[in-house]
A and B are shown apart, each in its own frame.
Chain A
Amino acid sequence: MKANRCRNPIIVVDDLYVNFYTYAGVVKAIDGVSFCIERGETYCLVGETGCGKSVTSRALTRLILPPGKIERGRILYYPEPGKVVDIMKLSEEELRMIRGDEITYIFQDPGTALDPLYTIGYQISETMLVHGYINKIRKGVSRAIQLLKETLIPDPEQRIKSYPHELSGGMKQRAVIATSLANRPRLIIADEPTTALDATVQAQIMELLRNLKKKRGLTILLITHNMGLVAEMCDRVGVMYAGQLVEEAPTEELFRNPLHPYTRALLRAVPNPLRRIEKLESIPGTVPNLIYPPAGCRFHPRCAHVMDTCKRQKPELTRIGNKHYVSCWLYSRR
C-alpha cells in the first residue's frame, strides 16, 4: 500500500476518488488522494477554497452527502495501534457509532452548526445520548458543564441553559468543540474552525485546541487556508490543489524548502513566517473547473515549469527527502 508513510497511523487514506453528480456534469472533486495521519500529531491540509480539503476530511467517515459519492479508495482507521477498521466496509449504523464518538468534527461556522431551537446543554447531552453514554438528556447535564469548563467558557452552569443565539461566535465555537469532546474522541477533524471568527478569538480557539490535544492525547486533522495557522499548529502539512495532494512535508521543511511549483507560488502569495518577502504575488490563471479537469497534472495550465509530460500523465507522489513527498514531474527520477 503506497499511502502508508506512517509508523503508527490513526488513519490511512489510499487512492481516494470522490465525485459529485451535479446537473452541470460530474465534478471530479477528489482525484486519487493518499495520505496518512500519525497518531498524536496535528496534520494539516491546506489549499485554496474548492480544492477538496473539506471533502477529503468528510470522506474519512464517509460523510459525503448526495449528490456526492466516494468512487473508490481505501480508508483504514486504527482505533488503537494494531487494530484496524476498514471504513469503506462499515454499515451506516457502524459508521454512525464512530462519527461523533471516536472521530469528531468541528465545522467552520459555529453560527449555523448548532440547532437554534435547543440549548447548548441539550445539544451537548444529545451527542452523548445518541452514542449511548447516557440514557436521558438530563443525565448529561453535569458532564456538559464539565465540558464547557474544559473549553474555558465562563459561567458554564448558566451557559448550558443558553440558546446558541445568546452566545458570541467564539463561545459558540467553544460549545461546538465541547460537543466534539463529549464522548471519547481519538481524532478531531477541525474544518477551518476559525475562519468565521475574528483574529483574537481565532488565537484563543487555536490555543484551546492545542491544550486539549496535549491534555487528552488527541490527534488533530486541521483544515485551513491560513498559512500562519499551519506554521503555528501543525506537525506535517499536505498541500492540495484541485482535488489532488501535490506535496506533503513536515511543517518546517515545507516552509523552508517547498518543491511543488504550486506550493512555492502559494507561499509567495502569503506572508511567510520563516523569511522576509518583498512583495506578495498571486498565482496566474484560475482554479480549474473540476467537471473538465486538465489532463495529467491538474496544475499544468498555471505552472511556470510546464513540460510535455505534465499535460499527458498524472505525476505520482514521490519521496524526495525525509518525510517529504511531492507529485511533480520536475522531481521524478524516471
Chain B
Amino acid sequence: MVDLRRFLIRRLITFIPTLIGATLLVYFVAAVVPGNPAKLWAGGEKASAEVVQRIIEEYKLDEPWYVQYYYFMKMLLTGKAISPVTHTNVWAEVLDRFKTVTLPLTMLSFMFIILIGIPLGIISAIKKDTVVDMILRIFALTGISMPIFWLAYLLIAALTGKGLVTLAGFPMPAYSITGIPLIDGLLKGDFEYLSQLLKRLWLPSLLLSYAGIGVLVRLVRNSFLDAYSSDFVEFMLARGFPRRRIYIHVLRNALAPIVTVLGLQFGGLLAGAVITETIFGLPGMGSYMIRAINNFDYLSLMAGVLYVAIIFMVVNLVVDILYAIIDPRVRY
C-alpha cells in the first residue's frame, strides 16, 4: 500500500510538466497562425477600433508571449476564463458538454467496444482458421477501415423512418441529480426518458465504437492465441482442465495489451468524436474543439486541451494500476 501511495504521488508530480507542455504547445501553435484574433473576436472586418483595443487590453494580446501564456493559464486555473467569443465561462461549457453528451456517448460506446469486441475476439481465436474466424476478421477489418460518415448516412437512411432513431435536439430530463442525464435517468428509474435518450444516442455510439471494436477483435484474437500457445496451457490440458477453465487463464494472461488499448480508446472517446458529433448534431467535446479552432478562440482551445491531457493522464494512471492487479509480477 505504501508502494502504491509513493507511486501515485510520483505520477501525480509528473502530471504538472505534462500539462504545462501540452498547453504551451497548443498556445504556440494557435498564436503562430496568422490573423488578427482581436479583430475577429470583436466581430470581424466591421469591428470598431475601440472594441478591438479593449479586447487587446483585456486579453493582454500586446504583451510578450510568456506574459500572455501566464495570464491565460492563470485565468484557466482559477476558473475565471471567459471566452472572448462566446462570452461564457469556458469551464462551464466544457463541463456542460462533457456531462450531457460526451460522457454518455463515451459510456455507451465503451460498453459496445467491451461487450462486442472482447467476446468476438475470443471466438475468433478459439475458432482460428475456420469460416467463423474469417467472417469475424473481415468484420473487424471493415470496422477499422470503413469511413464512419459513409456507414452513418447509410444507417440513418435505413433506420430513421422506423422510429428507432431520432436525430434532432437533445432530450434533457426535468430533474437534475448529478447533472449527467444518462445517470440521472438510471437513478430515477425514468425509463421513458432513458428510451428517448437511447434513441438519440445508440446509433452514434455504435458507429463510434465500430472502429474500436475492430481494433479490439484483432488484438484480443492475437493476444489470446499468443497466450494460448504458452506451455502452461498444455500442462493444464495434461492435468485434465476443462476448456472453459483454460480459456479463463489464457484470457487473463492476454489481458495486459488489451487493457492498454482499451485505456487509450476510452481516453480517445472522452476527448470527443468530431465526425460523429457533426453527423448526428451532438454538442460534445469534439465540436467544441472545432469551434474553438475555427474562431481563434485560444482560451477555449487551451481549456479543451487541458481537459484532454488530464483525461489521458488519468486513464494511463488507471491502466498502470490495473497492470499490477492483473499481473503479480508487476511492481510499482
CB-nearest residue of chain A to B255:
A117
Interface locus among B113-121, B132-140, B232-240, B292-300: B232-240
Contacts A115-B253, A117-B327 given; does A109 touch B231 at CB 8 Å: yes
Bound-state Cα–Cα, A115 to B328, Å: 11
CB <8 Å contact, A117 and B238: no
Q: Which of B230, B238, B245, B253 contacts A105 (CB 8 A)?
A: B238
Minimum distance in angstroms from B275 CB to a CB of chain A: 39
B326 / chain A contacts, CB cutoff of 8 Å: 117
Q: B127 interface residue, CB < 8 Å from A? A: no
Using an 8 Å CB-CB cutoff, how does the interface string of B120-135 with A read, 1 for contact, 0 for none? 0000000000000000
CB-nearest residue of chain A to B232:
A115
What are the 10 closest A-B residue pairs judged by CB atoms, nearest first? A100-B239, A100-B240, A112-B231, A99-B240, A105-B238, A113-B235, A96-B240, A163-B328, A115-B232, A127-B239
B6 / chain A contacts, CB cutoff of 8 Å: none
CB <8 Å contact, B329 and A165: yes
User: Given A97-B240, A98-B240, A130-B239, 7 more contacts at CB 8 Å?
Assistant: A63-B238, A96-B242, A100-B241, A101-B240, A107-B235, A115-B232, A115-B236
Give 13 A-B contacts (CB < 8 Å), ordered by A residue: A63-B237, A96-B242, A99-B240, A104-B239, A105-B235, A105-B238, A109-B231, A112-B232, A115-B232, A127-B239, A130-B242, A130-B245, A176-B235
Minimum distance in angstroms from B133 CB to a CB of chain A: 15
Minimum distance in angstroms from A178 CB to a CB of chain B: 12
Bound-state Cα–Cα, A109 to B230, Å: 12
CB-nearest residue of chain A to B231:
A112
A114 / chain B contacts, CB cutoff of 8 Å: 232, 235
Contacts A63-B237, A163-B328 given; does A113 touch B231 at CB 8 Å: yes
Minimum distance in angstroms from A94 CB to a CB of chain B: 10
CB-nearest residue of chain A to B237:
A63
B238 / chain A contacts, CB cutoff of 8 Å: 58, 61, 63, 99-100, 104-105, 107
Interface residues on B, range: 20 to 34
B237 / chain A contacts, CB cutoff of 8 Å: 63, 65, 99
CB <8 Å contact, A99 and B329: no
Q: A273 interface residue, CB < 8 Å from B? A: no
Chain A residues with CB under 8 Å of chain B are 58, 61, 63, 65, 95-101, 104-105, 107, 109, 112-118, 126-127, 130-131, 163, 165, 176, 179-180
Contacts A100-B239, A163-B328, A163-B329 given; does A65 touch B234 at CB 8 Å: yes
Q: Which of A109, A116, A180 contacts B327 (CB 8 A)?
A: A116
Q: B188 interface residue, CB < 8 Å from A? A: no
Bound-state Cα–Cα, A95 to B238, Å: 10
Bound-state Cα–Cα, A287 to B304, Å: 68
Bound-state Cα–Cα, A97 to B239, Å: 9
Using an 8 Å CB-CB cutoff, how does the interface string of B317-332 with A read, 1 for contact, 0 for none? 0000000001111000
Contacts A63-B238, A100-B241 given; does A117 touch B252 at CB 8 Å: yes
Minimum distance in angstroms from B1 CB to a CB of chain A: 17
Minimum distance in angstroms from A77 CB to a CB of chain B: 14
B328 / chain A contacts, CB cutoff of 8 Å: 116-117, 163, 165
Minimum distance in angstroms from A141 CB to a CB of chain B: 18
Minimum distance in angstroms from B328 CB to a CB of chain A: 5
Minimum distance in angstroms from B61 CB to a CB of chain A: 57
Using an 8 Å CB-CB cutoff, how does the interface string of B278-309 with A read, 1 for contact, 0 for none? 00000000000000000000000000000000
CB <8 Å contact, A99 and B239: yes
B252 / chain A contacts, CB cutoff of 8 Å: 117
Bound-state Cα–Cα, A180 to B249, Å: 19
Bound-state Cα–Cα, A7 to B77, Å: 88
CB <8 Å contact, A112 and B240: no
B327 / chain A contacts, CB cutoff of 8 Å: 116-117
Contacts A114-B232, A117-B326 given; does A179 touch B239 at CB 8 Å: yes
Contacts A130-B245, A165-B329 given; does A113 touch B240 at CB 8 Å: no
CB <8 Å contact, A112 and B245: no
Minimum distance in angstroms from B251 CB to a CB of chain A: 11
A97 / chain B contacts, CB cutoff of 8 Å: 240
CB <8 Å contact, A105 and B249: no
A112 / chain B contacts, CB cutoff of 8 Å: 230-232
A99 / chain B contacts, CB cutoff of 8 Å: 237-240
CB <8 Å contact, B240 and A107: no
Using an 8 Å CB-CB cutoff, how does the interface string of B59-86 with A read, 1 for contact, 0 for none? 0000000000000000000000000000
Bound-state Cα–Cα, A99 to B237, Å: 8
Bound-state Cα–Cα, A126 to B249, Å: 11
Bound-state Cα–Cα, A96 to B239, Å: 8
List residues 215-269 of chain B with CB under 8 A from any CB of chain A: 230-232, 234-242, 245, 249, 252-253
A65 / chain B contacts, CB cutoff of 8 Å: 234, 237
CB <8 Å contact, B235 and A116: no
Bound-state Cα–Cα, A100 to B242, Å: 11
CB <8 Å contact, A105 and B231: no
